[in-house]
Chain A
Amino acid sequence: MPEQSPPYEPKIVAFLCKWCSSAGSDLAGVSRLQYPANATPITVMCSGSVSPQYILSAFKKGADGVLVSGCHIGDCHYMEGNYLARRKIYLVNELLQFIGIEPQRFRMSWVSAAEGAKFAKVIKDFVEDLKPLGPQEKLKGQRP
């Protein structure tokens, strides 16, 4: 047993758009890029389909950080899904900070299917930001 306890390993729930970020994460995998394994990917059809409820629910179930990742502006498979997501997620982000959730815990990114390296970087940065914060207890429910 090591004497020092290992640093906290945060759990991340990542909502990834099927058309881009999900493929981006695949590319990171097949390119053998090394990045932390803390993120649990959940593939959604579009970042615009991510309801604020999914985000709150992930926090309630004990996620230490939540990532929503979609296609770059102008690249949406459904033409305007990511425009709608940008508006909605902006408000979620503002509201979470307003009630006193650390801004590092929630993140949005645009990752295309060709940006495996960017996906790896987004996850790596996220994990690094979350480690010092420790477990997320604020929105976590008593029952899982």
Chain B
Amino acid sequence: MSNLEALRDQAKKLLAKGEVRAVIGYRKGSRGMAAEPVVITRPEEAATLVWDPTCFHNLALYLVEDQKRLGKEKQKADKPIAIVAKGCDARAIVVLMQENYFKREDVYILGVSCETTGMVDERKLACLGFGTLQSASFRGDDFVFSTVSGEKRVAASEVLADRCLECRAPFPKVHDVVFGAEKARSLASPFAALLQFEKSKTSIADRWEFWQHQFERCIRCFACRAVCPMCYCEECIVDSTRFVVAPDTTAEEKANRLRWIERSATQSDNMGYHLTRALHLAGRCIDCGECDRVCPVRIPLRLLNTRLEREVRETFGYDPGASVDVASFVSSFRDNDPGNFIR
């Protein structure tokens, strides 16, 4: 398993030598056992970095935040920023580079391999009834949780997040330095959750009933948008932040401003928002599953994204986040793209 000490040493070395501006990583959080994202800038802080089964956050998000901040302050970074990246985070970084959000030399990737495990799903873990958990750690193919009543060892596959079970590439292929090995594994077939859903909801009416129920619960907290490294638009289609209401803005102007989707949490607008988001992520979503994890009302957003990801992979033969050098999915095409649905 990835050596935490080696990771800390590398982060310390990079900061001490001044090769990077900062290191984005994980540290022990204040919410029970869960790790939290941290940005460290001093070499002595490297000792606070952690790597355990609760490092679920996709840290590529903070590269986006960093670029946005630099843009707002009209600054240019003189040095790269280092980031601890799992397989999925590294794919997200590749997509961002593919879209020219930043360049390869702007980021130093400290890759960590999930090897034969991945990140824990707190909801699955809660079902085991261990009570308050203090920490989690990797041990081979298992996770070890320390609880008030001693250590509990659980096979990782029992409590792994779905996205980790179905993960194709738990090893960050694009990296500057990597901790841990690239190991072959097969925990669940790709799209297992999606296939199970499709098997249980075969008719149009069943699917509609299911999704209607999901979308009417959305409270439009936009956590899915906030946590997604691909949702980097300055102005989201649901917020018209650039529509300035000034003293001389007429009622007519306010009434006629362009509103594709209202912010109000009505079913049709929720649906418009989630469908638009899924389509904007087509060919870009690298299945980090964060939107699904953070949803407070548990809308299975990952199903929508994996549904399109499957089309992108199987119908169009496109592998999101695999290479910086290929054109992005929606800006490219092939002569033999399917057209039999067109009359």
Contact = CB atoms under 8 A, between A and B. Distances in A.
A95 interface: yes
Nearest to A57: B260
B255 interface: no
Contacts of A92: 279
A100 B268 contact: no
A33 interface: no
Output the residue of A95, A96, A102 with the most chain B CB within 10 A: A95
Minimum-distance CB pairs A-B, first 6 = A100-B208, A100-B207, A83-B333, A109-B343, A141-B268, A99-B211
Interface in A102-140: 102-103, 107-110, 122, 125, 138-140
Nearest to A103: B204
A142 B337 contact: no
A110 B316 CA distance: 21
Contacts of B207: 98-100
B338 interface: yes
Interface in B291-343: 304, 307-308, 311-312, 315-316, 329-331, 333, 335, 337-339, 341-343
Given A141-B269, A142-B266, A52 B279 contact: yes
Contacts of B276: 52-53, 56
Contacts of B337: 83, 86-87, 90
B268 A60 contact: yes
Output the residue of B316, B335, B342 with the most chain A CB within 10 A: B342
B281 to A, nearest CB: 10
14 contacts: A56-B272, A57-B260, A60-B268, A73-B339, A86-B342, A87-B333, A90-B341, A95-B307, A95-B308, A98-B307, A100-B210, A109-B342, A122-B343, A142-B266
Contacts, number: 103
A94 B279 CA distance: 11
Interface of B: 204-212, 237, 260-262, 266, 268-269, 271-272, 275-276, 278-279, 282, 304, 307-308, 311-312, 315-316, 329-331, 333, 335, 337-339, 341-343
A102 B208 CA distance: 9
B310 to A, nearest CB: 9
Interface in A58-111: 60, 73, 80, 83-84, 86-88, 90-103, 107-110
B208 A140 contact: no
A24 to B, nearest CB: 13
A84 B204 contact: no
B308 A139 contact: no
Given A90-B311, A138-B208, 7 more contacts: A60-B261, A86-B339, A86-B342, A98-B207, A99-B275, A100-B210, A141-B266
